[in-house]
Structure 1
């Protein structure tokens, strides 16, 4: 489970039996497939029931309001995709902890750390770009959040959760403005994912060069 479990909760009807939970998840997964093809606006009870292969009454039983269905689909999306983010965080902190503060005073050691971080980030961006349907869903939720106050709160929570780990990294490293450095890096990662998708080809060299400049300037 992710850190967001303490702040984002399922909104739809809770289930007590395994079969009921399996059907509920199937409905949410069908919702995500529809979003990946047609966007959030295409999510309707009848369309989801058809996609999930369940009676219409099942979708309205578990999710009386479409807003609950959309919000819970977002929650499931977060659960399914946060492992990649957590892996990047673990790699970054492990790399940082492999050097003492005294060792990082040496330019060659600092450069080694920077190179390691840039390698991790480049691989992360490439992995995110390769999972195109996830990025489509992610951006669909972000757009919907601009006009959906309830979803806006959930997307904001996820953003703050992800950003907090980067802030913590910069704080441990000794940045004089961890918040600003983390915001710049996080925004750059999202931009590089989007740009590589739009280019329809992952440009590893350009991605790495851009990340190297950002990390070097902030560390």
Structure 2
């Protein structure tokens, strides 16, 4: 992914913990020596993600994945030692793609903050409510796109995270995925003068996961107005100006 270039005066430094997270979340998988082999391996992983979203992890079987990917059955056992490796590698691929998507969103937020006067970035500063409203509009648009246009990915995320509660082998991947998510939020919240950036980042992740779950329960209809009101309320709380928001 091409990262947006920030003004020289406001280029943010990447935290050491964030660099390590980027490396740990980066999918590598079994090495392929030919481009055609790499394409086939990715086709298998993408098919695995589709099955996870449609049938849950229990639907992931070598034969089902081969049929979904349109490859010979032997291909799934050639590239992956067992079902667990296939599942964990597909989770890593999913996490990498989700991280790229989040990075684009985070870059947008940082670019907006680069245009805001320093005093407004401070808690209790002037025009703080206007900043909260602007960030709420951007965040609502992002989440609405996730819940409507990327519904399969949201469902796969829920499937992997729920299975991690029962499978210790997936739990470590789930923790790394979550930490990669919160690391970018902490940087943003630090710029917004949050007194508790780690706690607030965890709060935002929990709320977003809950909203994603609710959107799946409600089928393909997402109430934009309700989503907007929820996001505005949460952003107002984090920025310390919720009392000024409309009820």
Question: Do both proteins adopt the same fold according to a TM-score greater than 0.5, normalized to the shorter chain?
Answer: yes
- Secondary structure of the structure 2 residue equivalent to 1:167: helix
Size of the alignment, in residue pairs? 219
* C-alpha deviation, 1:198, in angstroms: 2.0
Alignment counterpart, residue 128 of structure 1, candidates 146, 149, 153: 146
Output the TM-score relative to the length of structure 1. 0.90
Change (3 A) 1:65 1:99: same
Change (3 A) 1:52 1:114: same
- Secondary structure of the structure 2 residue equivalent to 1:98: coil
Alignment of 1:116-195 (within 5 A): 116-130=134-148, 131-195=150-214
In 2, the alpha carbon distance for the partners of 1:83 and 1:103 equals 29
User: 2:227 aligns to what?
Assistant: 207
In 2, the alpha carbon distance for the partners of 1:8 and 1:68 equals 15
- Which runs of at least 4 in structure 1 moved beyond 6 Å after TM superposition? none
User: 1:49 aligns to what?
Assistant: 66
Alignment counterpart, residue 49 of structure 2, candidates 12, 16, 32: 32
Alignment counterpart, residue 218 of structure 1, candidates 238, 241, 246: 238
* C-alpha deviation, 1:122, in angstroms: 0.6
With 42-51 and 192-201 compared, the bigger mean Cα shift is at 192-201
* C-alpha deviation, 1:212, in angstroms: 1.6
Contact 1:11 1:68 in 2 (8 A): no
In 2, the alpha carbon distance for the partners of 1:24 and 1:196 equals 31
Output the TM-score relative to the length of structure 2. 0.81
User: 1:110 aligns to what?
Assistant: 128
Contact 1:32 1:73 in 2 (8 A): yes
Q: Which has the higher helix share?
A: 1
